Structure 1
Amino acid sequence: MGSDKNRGPAPAPDALDHAALALELLQKQPVLRDKISSGTHVQGREVPRLLTEVLRFLHLVAAGDQVLTPSRPVDLAWHEFILCTRIYGAFCCRHFGRMIHHQPGGMEDENNSQFDQTLALYQRYFGPPPAAYWLPGADCGACRSANS
């Protein structure tokens, strides 16, 4: 299988209903709800809201050609989504035209700068990010998207 880059552009980040997609994913893969809940300590109605934020982050990555860094809560939920490899891979290819890869680590200054870029893009496409999931830059995840 060749590179999964350049399979065509992803739709604009505001073109999809990420909340509806999150609910659909949780219905198709009920274990994902449990994994996100246990991995992030988010409960009940907050699970689909947090998954919505993960999908928005992934869409920002897919729509641009840059490395972005999520908040810690979004990163932790992303980890749980990735563990459902088949549904994660199929979701990325279907909605973004390529797999969105996860890259752990990175230098703190670089992660903070990428997190600031993430927040600016989020604001541009979705409005103010919910504070419950998008914490100040010091609390950004130690992981980032891979530019691939």
Structure 2
Amino acid sequence: MVFEGFILVGLLIVSTTAFFFYQKSARHRFLKEYQFHPSLKCRVMEKYPHLSKKQLDLVFDGLRDYFAICQTAGRKMVAMPSQVVDVAWHEFILSTQLYRNFCKKSFGRFLHHTPNEVRPKKNAACEGIRRAWRIACVHSDIDPSKPKSLPLIFLIDKKLRIKDGFHYSLNCRSRNNPSADYCASHIGCSASCAGGPSNGGSGGFWSSDSSSDTGSSCGGGGD
């Protein structure tokens, strides 16, 4: 009887572990293959009309990257390093049923958008931006302490010339980089928040639900 009990416990552990990895794999696959509705690009373009269709696609690649970072981080808060991607996230949330369904299949819970000013910890933004940097670098095969390039989510605002965006540089001491740029290379190794925007970005944590939604397509902007 004791031996049979050990077997049952072992089978339970194996089956639970297998289900966990299957679920994790399914969520990663869903996010990778997910097609954002064209209407979301229309709404982002309303705020940034200078963006072309190709550039709008890049914005939503950045949003996908951010969600992948959140998947890796689990329930830990992750700051949003990009203003234009944050706008895309806002627009996605406004399609409530579509977003709920996406969250359920990508995270198993509802991914909330939490402004810095309502966070319980003063250093939450610093922790969140460092976590975003480390995970984004790992996902892009970049050494977070000695980066030779920037992950898309940290590069996109500057690349797309987003005037109200967060602009990062690898070496902020370089004469070729404007002093207004954030020091991306300092984020992963600094105890302070000097490397990133302490008052910018948006963190996420989880909750629940599901459903679906539809919309329409639109035209593109100029380069």
Q: Secondary structure at the match of 1:70?
A: coil
State the aligned residue count. 135
Q: What is the aligned partner in structure 1 of residue 87 from structure 2?
A: 76
TM-score relative to the length of structure 2 = 0.51
Q: 1:109 to 1:40 in 2, by over 3 A?
A: farther
In structure 2, runs of 5+ residues without a counterpart are 1-19, 142-149, 158-165, 169-195, 208-223
Matches within 5 A, 1:26-45: 26=37, 30-41=38-49, 42-45=51-54
Q: What is the aligned partner in structure 2 of residue 129 from structure 1?
A: 151
Tell me if structure 2 keeps the 8 A contact 1:69–1:140: no
Give the counterpart letter for 2:129 in structure 1.
Answer: F
> Residue by residue, what CA displacement relative to the aligned partner does 1:12-64 show, whole Å, maximum 9, x if unpaired?
6xx4485652xx223xxx32111122234533111122112112212322332
- 1:90 lines up with 2:90 in the alignment: no
> Residue by residue, what CA displacement relative to the aligned partner does 1:48-83 show, whole Å, maximum 9, x if unpaired?
221121122123223322001012222221111111
Identity across aligned pairs (percent)? 19
For 1:111, which of 120, 125, 132 is the aligned residue? Answer: 125
Matches within 5 A, 1:4-15: 11=24, 15=28
Which protein is bigger by CA-based radius of gyration?
2
Matches of 2:113 and 2:107, distance apart in 1: 15
In structure 1, runs of 5+ residues without a counterpart are 1-7
Matches of 2:206 and 2:53, distance apart in 1: 33
Tell me if structure 2 keeps the 8 A contact 1:50–1:74: yes
Give the counterpart letter for 1:66 in structure 2.
Answer: K
TM-score relative to the length of structure 1 = 0.72
Q: Secondary structure at the match of 1:101?
A: strand
